[in-house]
A and B are shown apart, each in its own frame.
Chain A
Amino acid sequence: MKTLNIIERIEGEAKLVCTWKENKISDAQIQFLNFRGFEYILNNKPALDALIYTPRICGICGQAHLKATAEALENIYKSINEPLYITDKAKLLREIGLNIEIIDSHIKWFYIFIMPDIAKLSKEQKYLKYEALKGESWRKGTYAASESIKALAVFAGQWPHTSYMIPGGVMSDPTLFDIITMQNYMDQTLHFLEKELIGTDIEKYFSFDSELDLDTLNATLSDFKNLCFENDLHILGKSYNSHITLSDTSLFESGRIEVKNRLLVDLSLIDEKDINTFKINEQKKENEYTWAKTALYNNKPYETGPLSRALISNRKLIKNIHKTYGDSVFTRVMARMDELINLVFITKKLIKQIDLSQESYIPAKIDLKDIESATSISTVEAARGSLLHKVTIENAIIKDYDVITPSVWNLGPGIGDKFGIAQKAIIGADSIEKAHIILRSFDVCSVCTTH
């Protein structure tokens, strides 16, 4: 038997075609049918305009794309042996900006996008508070997200769609009171997490080493855990359990894990395949069913995102949960929430480290226009996983712009008899509702997937 479902509420739309055997999904095809062509749009545009364009690849990951563009252009200077000097202040403001965006994204994703679905699996009255639009917890989630994003607006001017990062630094010049305002917003976010999400203070949370610790609390995470265990989400949703993270930050380490071994990443082994992908201006072939491409490392599929980041940088609680429950929905979502809590904690520290006496921006000595031709790569950790930009410019005009988004790693089609990451995770589910939740556990973004 085959079924076809349209999946909404994933920042766009996708189709899920499932083959069923003995009431379980035995094959799943994830189709992304919408394409906006950003890589085409960027062709022949002035290089600096990419700072305006790429954030608009995704309304929620704009800062990740902005940072990737700014750093790819900086790496152009490196490639001609004229590296720009970026002050620590500028570096901090960029990382803080990106972190706040991820914090906002994680809160929204959890409260707005996945909890309403998970809560629906139960008929119990007490979970009605997670209902979309009406539920008290849903509303508190949107409240907390919009309060936390203010910390970014303080120095970036607005969110979404600000382009305050630029090769050479950042455009803003915050005051000490701005720094305190940012701290205040982060403190409020932390307060929300302690009260609503965790149910205890953060120090206590950091002492947790097993999911059993959640049972002592009465907050969203314990509700989430109970719902997962009642519905087998701690067993479902397993994929290859191979993980990749492409860049380092204050919280994350780059690397990859394969069968328990932690290994280094060599960016030159990353390849984007389009075997099953539609092509522009070409008659569609029978095997082509989606606009998503497939990202592979050394020809193998890897998962990217908060779970991968937690495992590679060795975060205790998630490591322990993963030991027992593998890369299940429960572990994957817990990793995202654990990341949220850690990010707020670390971002507060980073804000404090800003040295306001440093410059925000130091202009380049060489004009981009005077660089005849160069290519460079940058990598950034976005909410959903690792993002890679590769740009070629000629006299400050873009000749080629390639973007590999996190969702391409996680949601791209499988190749040959090798399933894609999310595809493999869905196989084995016994209901379409659960298949949707498994898919959603990857924080699906269709605009990011096909860009």
Chain B
Amino acid sequence: MSTLRDAVPGADRSARHRDPNARRPGTRRRSRRVERLLGEHPLGLLLSSPYVAYVLVVFLIPFGFGVWMAFHDFFFTAPGVQVPHPFVGFDNFGQVLGDPAVRQAFGNLLVFLVINVPLTVVLALLFASGLDAVVHWKGFFRVSYYIPYVTASVATLTVWIFMFNGNGVVNRVLGDLAPDPTWLANQNLIMPLIAVYVTWKNLGFYVLLYLAALQNVPAELHEAAQMDGAGKWQRFRAVTLPGVRPVTSLVVLLTIIMTGQIFTEPYLLTGGGPDGASMTPALLMYQKGIQQGQPDVAAAIGLLLVLAVMILSLASRRLTERKG
């Protein structure tokens, strides 16, 4: 997403290249025709071709295949066997939308978002403002916050499982306050626990984003506000918050996009349970598409998921950028 800001295609530069004054001396006439057809440096096509070929094989063809699959009756067969895959229209989608398990999985993502987004924004902004002003141990704090982000989920989830299972250290500390049924077996606590885990894991990344944004808020604005008699809290609200709004918008967008991909956490913590309370669409796609051999249904879930993520992303952009 942020890459779009430096997305200035090579138009201006290629114009400069075609400027006759910038041409190297002694260009042969033959190259004129090649140039008109392929551009000044046909080598560029050659250098780009492996990348483009990969994009076709790994992204565009599977993308089209997935959409095709969702509208056809597709199932696995023995290798080499030719079977018809008839067009079934929206049948797969009908089946998906009528499935309470699917609805529950999408509902779980909403629970996740409601906890994860505010928690991420508030904590990242809090730690980034602290880091921006602190003098000592700055490096230590940055490194500490970032370490969970660079560590494999499989490794950190393992620790979380052992900290939060029935006789784990968290319940030992809580004593009589420990929840019953305990964390991983509790329908009401499992999705919040996953939301807290993901917040913990990714927070360092968002802290660094906010830190960069805070350092770009002009100090003059703070000074001017101070001259006008604004207190610390007023300056935070009137100067800092508007100054970091683009990053807030980005953070919300990224958490929404990442939410759609949640798979490893429920798979390792609970396998989607208890009773579907931590099931997510991505995990459901794995179970239906690969374990139960219904790739067409899984592809339909995938399309709905991407659609939901897109709608939420657009809504979040309108909400977070409107007041700018």
Does A pair with B? no
